Structure formats: C-alpha cells, structure tokens
Amino acid sequence: MAGQDCLAANDWICGEFVRTRSQELLDAGVQHLWITAASVAAGVLLALPLALVARRWRAAEGPVLGLTTVLYTVPSLALFSLLVPVFGISAAVVVTGLTLYSLTILVRNFLAGLDSVPEDAREAARGMGYGPLRLLIEVELPLALPAVMAGVRIATVATVSLTTVGAILGYGGLGNLIYDGMRSFFKAEVFTASAICVLLAILADVLLLGLQRLLSPWSRASKAVA
C-alpha cells in the first residue's frame, strides 16, 4: 500500500516504480550501455590513426586537433540532424554523433601519451631491430597506456551522459525514460533513470581504472617504489 502511495503522491523516490517498471529500466539500461560502448570503441579506432598522423607530421597536428575540437562545439541536435539524411532515424545517428564527440578527448590523450614515451626507449628498441609497427605495438602503446586509458575513461563517462540526448530520436537508452518523465512530470521515472545513469558512469570509470591497472602493472610498481 505504501508503494502505491508513493506513485499516487508522485514522489521522487518510489520503490514501487522500480518494481513495476523493472523490465523497462533494464531494457533502457542495456540500450544505454551498448550505444556508449559502440561509440567509445569506434572513437578509439578513429582516434589512434589520427593521433599517429598528428605525431608523424607535426604540420597536421593543428588541423587534426582543431577539427576534433570544432566537432565538439556543434550542438547535438544540429549534429544529429545533419546525420539523419545519411543514416535515417536510427541508432547509427546517435552512435556516429557520440563517436565524433569522443574524438576531442581521445585524440588529445592518445597524442599526449605517445609524446610522453621517452626517446631513449625508442632508440633502444630500434637498436634491437624493432621496426615501426613493432615499436608502436610493443613499446610506445604500452608506455603511453596511462594517458590513453585516462582519455578512454573521460570519454566513456562523457558518453554515458551524452547518450541521453539520443532520446530526441528514440535511441537514448535511459534518456528515453528521463525525457518521457520530464514531459509528464513523473518524478520517480526522471529520478530513477537519472540515478541509474550516474551509477553506470561511476561503474564504467571504476572498471576501466581496474583494467588500466591490470594492463600496466609496472605503473603500480613504480608508485610503490616512490
């Protein structure tokens, strides 16, 4: 009865709402996660070659960083509208838009990570017969990992938040519930979906931090020695 009372009173926190709409919350959360994951993964795949180009040809660094910065300044509604004629009303519009937004963070961090690799390490690897590709994979990327993962963490948390904007196309994950709740002023729907969105961002950041530490045990050892 108390649960029904919180719905009737339109309270912000309502356990009955969570109980009765659990499947809808789960479906929205799953959509939110896969849109976020797809966007960040695509951003990483695009950011690495862009960072490599900017490092290899320094004349390209300004244009690359400038372009990715300009993309981030485009309002999401305008960007999605420009993408609709290409992809139609689909999740691809949201994923593509979020991928472009993530490049601002990812390219800068990837470039900073690569620039932080000591030249002595590169020279030593070349002296051991490492070619450019092997040098990149086995020396530069591992040493650049802390900066790279920091960028991925920031981009992921930002994308979790920006995914909600996809509600304007019906592909916003938890944003769909927030948008519907705002229109009907259904407090429990707005609060619950927003709270889950925040929890997803925190969980993603913690998991990626754990992955970073797992992939770079030498960084933990150096901190312990210090």
Cα separation, 203 vs 206, in Å, equals 5
pLDDT at 226: 46
Cα separation, 158 vs 104, in Å, equals 11
Cα–Cα distances (Å) from 147 to 38, 141, 218, in that order, read 21, 10, 14
Contact of 179 with 167, CB cutoff 8 Å: yes
What mean pLDDT is reported for the chain? 87
Q: How far is CA 107 from the centre of its chain?
A: 13
For the chain, what are the domain ranges? 30-217
Cα separation, 163 vs 175, in Å, equals 7
Kindly give the residue spans of alpha helices, DSSP state H, lying in 88-186. 91-115, 119-127, 132-135, 141-162, 174-184
Whether domain 30-217 has CATH 1.10.3720.10? yes
> Mean pLDDT by 10-residue block, N- to C-terminus, for the chain (226 residues)?
70 84 92 95 94 86 88 88 90 94 93 88 86 87 89 94 91 92 88 94 93 74 48
Contacting residues for 39 by C-beta, under 8 A, at least 6 apart: 94, 95, 98, 99, 102, 159, 163
If 0-12 CB within 10 Å is exposed, 13-18 middle and 19+ buried, where does residue 104 land? buried
pLDDT at 98: 95
Cα separation, 100 vs 189, in Å, equals 30
Question: What number of CA atoms fall less than 13 Å from residue 65's CA on the CB side?
Answer: 14
Q: Residue-wise over 124-146: b if at least 16 C-beta within 10 A, else e?
A: ebeeeebeeeebbeebbbbbbbb
Global pTM value: 0.87
Instruction: Pick the closest to residue 55 from 147, 124, 127, 125 (CA basis).
Output: 147
